C-alpha cells in the first residue's frame, strides 16, 4: 500500500508523561508490527508547525488519533489542520480497565505499561482494518 | 544548569526519538522541566510559570527545527540550543537507526544531556580575543534587476555561490550573507549562531538565518575556528537586513588556510554575475 493511502495513526507528543509514552509505543506497535502496510504515522509537531506535506496527508488520508490525556492534543491538532479524525482513542480509556495499575514512567514502560500499549494497539489495529478495508495481522 | 527543555515531538525519525531521550535525561540529571511543543503551542499558559522562572534550552531532532521555530514564533528567549545531527557529529558519535533508543543511544543521550545542562563555568572559557578592525567597504558594485538594487562591496570581500561573504584581515575573517540574500529572505527574525570554539571546514554550516519567509543555512566561505559570533544579533537580528556587509556580520573565525579556500571563492565582479543570473531566474 502506498504511503499516501495508509491510515494515519497520530499519537500525542506526550513528552515527559507516561501516558504520552504509551500512546507513542502503541502507535509504533501498529505501524511496525500489527499493520505495517496499512498504517503510517506522522509527527504531530510537524502538523502544528504547518508543514505542507503533513497538512496534505491529514486532509486526504483516514486518521486515527491516540491521546495520552483528556487535553486531546492529537485530535485537536488534526481538526485544526483541516483533517477529520475517523476514530479517537485515549490511553485513559484502556488504563482505567487496569484499576490502580502503574504503567511505568515517562522514560520507560514496565510490564503493565507494555500490556496497556499492546491492548490499545490491538484496538487501533482493528480500526485500521476497518478503515483500510484490508485484513491485517491478528 | 536547571532549565526548561523544549524538545521536538520527534515521532517518526530516529534523531527525533533521541531528542526526546536527551530531554528525559536532562530532566533526570538537572531537574529540568520538559516542555511539550504541542501542548505549548495549544496552551502556552500551561508553561508560563516555568518559562518565566527558568532559562530555555531547545533541542531539535532534525533540520526542520520545529522546536526552535515554535520558540521563535512565541518570542521566547533561547538560552541554549542543540541541533542533534550537529551535536552528534561534534561528539564523533553515530546514532542507532531506530525509533526506540537502545542502550547505546541512551548512553549517547546522556552525554548530550550533560552537555546541554552543563553550567557555564564548566564550559571551556572563550580565548581572549585580540581586537581586529574590519574596514567598511568603500566602493559598491550595484547589480540592478527591475526595481531591485543589490549592492556588493567592490573590494575586500569574497563570496561563495551560496550568497555568503567573507572579509579577511590578517589571519581573521568575518562572514555574513549578501545583500541579495537578505532581500530574498525579507525580514530576518533570528540568527541561530554556531558554537564558539568549533572548527569548521570550508562550505560547512555556520549557523542559520531565519526570516518570516524561510530558514537559510549559512555556508561558510572559509575554514577555521569560530572565535566569535555577532553579539548584537540576539536583540537586533534586523541588522542583517539593514547592514548585511558591516554591522550585520554573523561569525568571526581564525582562518585555517585562506590561500586554499580562496581558490573556490568568487570576486565581487564574479559574484555580481551570479546575482544577476539568480535574480533573473527568481523572477522568471
- Interatomic CA distance for residues B165 and B268, integer angstroms: 10
pLDDT at A56 over 90: yes
Yes or no, beta carbons of A107 and B24 under 8 Å apart: yes
Name the DSSP letter for residue B76.
P
Provide mean pLDDT across the span B49-60. 91
Contacts of residue A108 in chain B, CB cutoff 8 Å?
none
Put simply, whether B107 touches A (Cβ < 8 Å) is no
Which is nearest to B181 in space by CA: B240, B231, B131? B240
Confidence of residue A36 (pLDDT cuts 50, 70, 90): very high
- Interatomic CA distance for residues B95 and B188, integer angstroms: 33
Q: Which of A29, A39, A49 should be substituted to probe chain B, the one whose Cβ sees the most B Cβ atoms within 10 Å?
A: A49
pTM score above 0.95: no
User: What pLDDT score was predicted for residue B224?
Assistant: 92
- Interatomic CA distance for residues B158 and B255, integer angstroms: 14
Yes or no, beta carbons of B70 and A48 under 8 Å apart: yes
Q: Which of B10, B39, B67 sits opposite A73 (nearest CB)?
A: B39
Q: Which of A19-33, B48-62, B129-143, B174-188 has the lowest mean pLDDT?
A: B129-143
Contacts of residue B9 in chain A, CB cutoff 8 Å?
13, 15, 43-46, 48
* A31, A35, A39, A40 alpha-carbon torsion, rounded to 10°: 20
Yes or no, beta carbons of B23 and A13 under 8 Å apart: no
Q: How long a stretch of residues is chain B? A: 284
Q: Which of A13, A28, A76 sits opposite B9 (nearest CB)?
A: A13
Provide mean pLDDT across the span A121-132. 95
pLDDT at A138 over 90: no
Percent of chain B exceeding pLDDT 70 equals 96
**Chain mean position to CA B189:** 12
Yes or no, beta carbons of B11 and A24 under 8 Å apart: yes
User: What pLDDT score was predicted for residue B283?
Assistant: 84
Name the DSSP letter for residue A69.
S
Contacts of residue B7 in chain A, CB cutoff 8 Å?
15
Percent of chain B exceeding pLDDT 90 equals 51
> Across the strands, what pairs with B219?
B205
Put simply, whether B39 touches A (Cβ < 8 Å) is yes
Contacts of residue A24 in chain B, CB cutoff 8 Å?
11
Q: Is A28 exposed, middle or buried (0-12, 13-18, 19+ CB in 10 A)?
A: buried
Task: Quote the crossing angle between the two packed helices A18-28 and A111-132, to the nearest 10°.
Answer: 50
Put simply, whether B70 touches A (Cβ < 8 Å) is yes
Which is nearest to B39 in space by CA: A134, A29, A68? A68
pLDDT at B78 over 90: no
pLDDT tens digits for range A1-26: 666 689 999 999 878 789 999 999 99
Yes or no, beta carbons of A20 and B24 under 8 Å apart: no
Confidence of residue A134 (pLDDT cuts 50, 70, 90): low
Residue with grid cell 482513542, as numbered in its chain = A89
Amino acid at each position: 500500500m502506498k504511503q499516501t493511502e495508509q491510515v494515519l495513526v497520530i499519537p500525542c507528543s506526550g513528552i515527559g508523561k507516561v501516558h504520552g509514552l504509551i500512546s507513542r509505543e502503541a502507535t509504533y506497535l501498529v505501524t511496525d508490527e500489527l499493520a505495517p502496510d496499512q498504517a503510517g504515522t506522522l509527527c504531530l509537531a510537524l502538523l502544528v508547525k504547518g508543514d505542507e506535506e503533513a497538512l496534505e496527508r491529514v486532509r486526504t488520508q483516514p486518521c486515527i488519533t491516540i491521546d495520552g490525556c483528556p487535553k486531546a492534543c492529537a485530535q485537536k491538532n488534526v481538526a485544526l489542520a483541516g483533517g477529520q479524525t475517523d476514530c479517537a482513542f485515549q490511553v485513559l480509556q484502556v488504563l482505567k480497565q487496569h484499576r490502580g495499575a502503574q504503567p511505568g514512567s515517562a522514560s520507560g514502560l514496565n510490564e503493565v505499561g507494555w500490556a496497556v500499549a499492546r491492548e490499545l494497539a490491538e484496538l487501533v489495529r482493528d480500526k485500521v482494518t476497518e478503515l483500510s478495508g484490508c485484513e491485517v495481522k491478528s | 544548569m536547571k532549565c526548561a527543555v523544549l524538545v521536538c515531538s520527534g515521532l517518526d525519525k530516529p534523531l527525533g526519538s533521541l531528542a526526546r531521550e536527551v530531554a528525559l535525561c536532562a530532566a533526570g540529571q538537572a531537574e529540568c522541566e520538559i516542555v511539550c511543543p504541542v501542548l505549548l503551542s495549544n496552551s502556552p499558559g500551561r508553561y508560563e510559570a516555568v518559562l518565566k522562572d527558568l532559562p530555555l534550552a531547545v533541542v531539535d531532532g532534525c533540520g526542520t527545527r520545529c522546536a526552535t521555530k515554535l520558540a521563535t514564533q512565541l518570542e521566547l528567549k533561547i538560552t541554549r540550543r542543540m541541533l542533534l545531527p550537529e551535536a552528534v557529529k561534534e561528539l564523533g558519535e553515530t546514532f542507532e537507526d531506530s525509533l526506540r533508543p537502545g542502550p547505546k543511544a541512551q548512553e549517547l543521550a546522556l552525554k548530550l544531556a550533560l552537555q546541554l545542562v552543563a553550567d557555564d563555568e564548566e564550559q571551556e572559557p572563550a580565548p581572549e580575543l585580540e581586537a581586529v578592525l574590519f574596514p567598511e567597504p568603500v566602493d559598491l558594485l550595484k547589480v540592478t534587476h527591475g526595481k531591485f538594487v543589490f549592492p556588493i562591496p567592490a573590494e575586500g570581500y569574497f563570496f561563495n555561490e551560496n550568497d555568503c561573504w567573507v572579509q579577511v584581515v590578517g589571519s581573521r575573517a568575518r562572514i555574513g550573507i549578501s545583500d541579495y540574500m537578505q532581500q530574498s529572505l525579507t525580514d530576518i527574525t533570528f540568527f541561530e549562531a554556531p558554537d564558539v570554539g568549533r572548527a569548521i571546514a570550508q562550505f560547512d554550516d555556520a549557523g542559520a538565518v531565519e526570516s518570516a519567509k524561510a530558514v537559510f543555512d549559512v555556508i561558510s566561505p572559509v575554514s577555521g575556528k569560530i572565535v566569535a559570533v555577532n553579539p548584537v544579533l540576539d536583540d537586533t537580528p534586523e541588522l542583517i537586513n539593514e547592514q548585511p556587509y558591516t554591522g550585520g556580520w554573523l561569525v568571526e573565525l581564525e582562518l585555517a588556510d585562506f590561500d586554499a579556500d580562496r581558490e573556490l571563492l568568487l570576486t565581487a565582479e564574479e559574484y555580481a554575475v551570479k546575482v544577476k543570473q539568480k535574480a533573473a531566474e527568481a523572477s522568471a
